Every structure is written in structure tokens, then in C-alpha cells.
Amino acid sequence: MKKIISLFKRNYEGDHLVLDEIVPGAEWVQNGEGVATRKYDGTCCMVNNHEIYARYDVKKDRKPPENFIPAQDPDPITGHWPGWVKCNIDDKQWRWHFEAFYDENSTFRNGTYELCGPKINGNPEKLENHVLIAHDCAFRFYDAPRTFNELKEWFTDKNIEGVVWHHPDGRMVKIKKKDFGLTR
């Protein structure tokens, strides 16, 4: 899964919040295309052939780990290179991945997921157990606006991380509540 572009440009020279300017390639959202889904606050994972992989971002001028699977080419500006590393059940750093993956009530098809739960990012989703939430099955928002001011207002009473729009052709665009300077 490639890194998802933002809906609005970010003010990197100032407060790092978003500006009322569409990122090139995201115009389709404001044109009314695609479906808005809830963006969960966790960590990205992938299930492939009954194995779980964690998202891994190779930083600029760093060498990827031996088992790194690239998701895309390195970013030409930042040098960041997103991809995947296979989780090892014997390594404690992946224990929450496996807790969710081996849930006796779940079977997982190939795809990408958000790992959320008590030990992930301070548990903003307020979950009692670690779970994998399929990105393509997330809660849909039929009322999500698509303009800067309307989205900023819409987020004010929502206790969510953000929204991801899914285009029928596979493109995705995201925006987070905190991009507007709002907190959960």
C-alpha cells in the first residue's frame, strides 16, 4: 500500500497545519468522487498469505532491513521509503500484532489493516483488546464534506482521527482532524 496523499497542502514553513489548497492529485475528492471512510488511529499492517507484516518506513540515507518489502519507490523529496517487514512471533515488538492476528474469532484475508488497541498510540480508539480493522471495510461517512472550511467545522464534534476517501480506481486521499489544529 502506497503512502496516502493528503487532501490539503501543509504549511511546512509555519505551524505545519493544512492550508486551503488542494494537493495535486486529490482534486477528485472535491469533485464529489469516492467514498469517505473513518481513519482509525493505530499502526498500519498487511496480511498476505496468512502472515502478518508491519509497516516500516526507511528514513533518508538509511539502509532497509534485510526482509524489507517496498510498497513504493522512495520519496524524491523526503527520501522516506515506505514498505513492509514480516512480523516474527518470537520478537516481543510484534506481540500486539500477533494478539490481534490470532484472535480466535477472526480470519483475515489478504489486505491492509489498522492495528488498534490498548498498547497502540495511547489507545485513542478506547479499545479493550488489540484488533485489526480492514482499511477497505472501515465505517463510511455519507455526510463528510469535501471543502476546507466545511471539513474543519465538521471535525469539531467528531472523536475520530480523520477521513480517508477511496476512489473506485484504487486512489486514496486522507485528512486528519489534527491537520486543522483540532484535538480529539
Taking Cα atoms as reference points, which of 117, 122, 98, 4 lies closest to residue 50? 98
Rg (CA), the chain: 17
| 184 residues of the chain, pLDDT tens digit each | 778 999 999 998 999 999 999 999 999 999 999 999 999 999 999 999 999 999 999 998 899 999 999 999 998 878 889 999 999 999 999 999 999 999 777 789 999 999 999 999 999 999 999 999 998 877 999 999 999 999 999 999 999 999 999 999 989 999 999 999 999 9
Same domain, 75 and 36: no
Same domain, 169 and 115: no
The count of structural domains within the chain is 2
Q: Which domain holds residue 32?
A: 1-40+139-184
Same domain, 46 and 115: yes
d(CA 181, CA 41): 16
Same domain, 122 and 52: yes
Q: Are 167 and 34 a contacting pair, CB within 8 Å?
A: yes
User: Which residues contact residue 135 at a Cβ distance below 8 angstroms, ignoring those fewer than 6 apart?
Assistant: 1, 37, 111, 112, 113, 114, 164
Same domain, 125 and 52: yes
3-state helix, strand, coil split of the chain in percent (to 5) is 15, 30, 50
Q: Are 2 and 72 a contacting pair, CB within 8 Å?
A: yes
